[in-house]
Amino acid sequence: MFRLIRPNLAGAGVLVAALLALAAVVRPRVYAVLAVFLAVLTAASCGSSSGLASAAANTAPASPPSGTTSASHPLRGIIAPAATLVGQATRALGVVPNPRLVIIEIIGTDIACDGSDSSNYPVFGQQVKAALDLIARQAPHATILLVSWPGRPLQASKAIIGTPAVPIARANSASEMCSPFDPNLRLDMKHIKTWTGIIEGYESEQAKVCATVPECHTDNGRATHFHVRTSYYNYTNDWDYQHYNVTGLAALAKFMWPTVAKILNLH
């Protein structure tokens, strides 16, 4: 049974994905593979621990689309165990011990929006560093990619104006200081600026620790420039900013492909 983990709740909601032992790549097919990856990533981040374990087990042996990989380097699957980042990395490497690429999307439920986030940055950094060191030690041939928060709160908030997501966005805010909409459901620029600044604080800490691990790469902020469109969401009671529909996932996968290709030297 999946439950929603919203990005504005306090906690250590973190995610690890081991993806793509690639040799030869046909680019359009890889867009599709990355879209599938993002879809599983999104579903997994909404799950309970038992649900995630099942998703990991069911996903790991997946066969790649025709033309995506060579026979000797198949798609190995996507792993999301449901614990702390180090715990997730340990479990992921137990299922896929030699990933070609490890993608980590971590910033989300760590955000408290209660005035304590700046003091939490070093703790967050220590958690990320511990996971990076573990991955680098146990999978020395893996390339690690840390992904920024896709899009930005202001642009995404503008995209959902006029949809049922607006009252949900306000109701699910961790606190008033980060609420993107005021009581009249109009954009609250002050609070959006606060929320964005907090996100950027975590991203800065993430980049700092990544720089200490040779195998680690950031996306250099590319994901932050992803242009969120109204059509990229399914508008249900489970709506949140970081969970896109198939159209949105495909668009994000295509947008992020140049970064993936660059760090894997696929040109």
pLDDT single digits (tens) 185-239: 999 999 999 999 999 999 999 999 999 999 999 999 999 999 999 999 999 888 8
pLDDT at residue 88, as a whole number:
86
Q: What percent of the chain has pLDDT over 70?
A: 69
pTM score, whole prediction: 0.74
pLDDT single digits (tens) 100-141: 999 988 887 788 999 999 999 999 999 999 999 999 999 999
Q: Are 59 and 42 in contact (CB under 8 A)?
A: no
Nearest to 80 by CA among 153, 7, 9, 15: 15
Nearest to 220 by CA among 115, 125, 148: 148
Domains located in the chain, CATH noted = 16-263 (3.40.50)
Strands 143-146 and 216-218: parallel
Identify the DSSP state of 9.
S
Identify the DSSP state of 224.
G
